[in-house]
Amino acid sequence: MFPFSFEWVWDMDHIVFHGGLWYALNIMGLGMTYCIIKAAWDTYKGKGGHNH
């Protein structure tokens, strides 16, 4: 899963497989981080509840 585990080989198979995995994980992680930070910011700015 990580380059430091001994099964890891720097070949195309590992790069494609784990590249796809980390790509998906990053989208999910960054997407959620964006939502949470924006929600906190919006709340700080007084948005939310039932104002819109």
Partner 1 sequence: MDSALIPRGVKRCPTWQFILGIVIVGAVLLWGVFAMLLCWIKGLNQTNMNTAYGFAIWIWADLAVIAVGGGAFFTGFLRYIVGKDELKNIINFAVLIGFICYSSALLILAIDIGQPLRGWFIFWHANVHSMLTEVAFCLSCYFGVLCIEYLPLILENRQIDKVPFFHNLSHNMHEIMAVFAATGAFLSFFHQGSLGGVAGVLFGRPFGFREGVLIWPWTFFLFTWSAAACGPCFTILITKITEAIARKKLVKDNVIELLAKISGWMLLTYSVAKIADTWYWATVTAPSKGFTLMDFYSNNPLYGIWILILEVGICGVLPALILITDKGRKTSFALWAAVILAVIGVCLNRWVMVLQILAVPVMPFISWHMYFPSWQEIATTILPVAYGIILIMISYRYLPIFPQEAELNPIEPPTYAEEDKQEQEEPVETQEASNAPEPEMQPAEA
> What's the rounded Cα separation, in Å, for the pair 9 and 16?
12
Provide the minimum distance between the beta carbon of 2 and partner 1 in the complex, in angstroms, as a whole number: 8
Length of the chain: 52
- Would you tell me which residues interact with partner 1 (CB under 8 A)? 1, 5, 7, 13-14, 17-18, 20-21, 24-25, 27-28, 31-32, 34-36, 38-40, 42-43, 47-52
Measured from the CB of residue 13, what is the shortest distance to partner 1 in angstroms?
Answer: 5
Extract the tokens encoding 38: 């924006």
Nearest approach, Cβ of 42 to partner 1 (angstroms)?
4
Q: What CA–CA distance (Å, rounded) separates 42 from 51?
A: 11
